[in-house]
Amino acid sequence: MILGDSSGGEDHEVKAPKKRAETWVQKETRSLIIFRREVDGLFNTSKLNKHLWDQISAKMREKGFDRSATMCTNKWRNLLKEFKKAKHQDRCSASAKMSYYKELEELLRDRSKNGPLQEPQLFKSRFVYSIFR
């Protein structure tokens, strides 16, 4: 809390501006895509996925990226929005305009081939196995 002196001699509370989250670097975003892909088959369409985002966030912290589950969720949603927007544009320029287009396209293509709730095959790790226990 910051107090400011007004012209009347009274102290008024001045709120500090909200701190904006740091911009995600490429390595961080690619890590998010990898970790999300590891558990993609476990995600369902309901809102009961918080525990998965918590595990993704923990995995991000292990890699040195301090991102909360909410930050990871928001970044993922924004990546999907950006992907869909790029996909509807000219296909040739779409992958050039979006840095992670190919990774997301591959993940979504694999998802449609395998169907929902399949055990992830790409990245076998203790992270994935801890989910199945």
Query: What is the residue-level pLDDT of the chain in tens, covering all 133 positions?
Result: 445 554 555 555 655 555 556 899 999 999 999 999 999 888 876 678 999 999 999 999 999 999 999 999 999 999 999 888 887 776 656 555 567 888 888 888 877 776 554 444 444 444 433 333 3
Domain membership of residue 97 (yes or no) is no
Domain of 48 in residue numbering reads as: 26-79+109-132
User: Is 37 inside any structural domain?
Assistant: yes
Domain of 118, CATH number, reads 1.10.10.60
- Does residue 16 contact residue 2 with C-beta atoms inside 8 Å? yes
Contact between 101 and 95 (Cβ < 8 Å): yes
Please report whether residue 3 resides in a domain: no
Number of domains into which the chain is organized: 1
In a domain, residue 93? The reply is no
Within a domain: 120: yes
Write down the pLDDT at residue 1: 44
Cα dihedral 47/41/28/23 (nearest 10): -30
**pLDDT of amino acid 106:** 86
Tell me what pLDDT residue 88 has.
76
pTM: 0.63
What is residue 19's predicted lDDT score, i.e. its pLDDT? 57
d(CA 87, CA 64): 32
Q: Does 39 reside within a domain?
A: yes
pLDDT score recorded for residue 73: 95
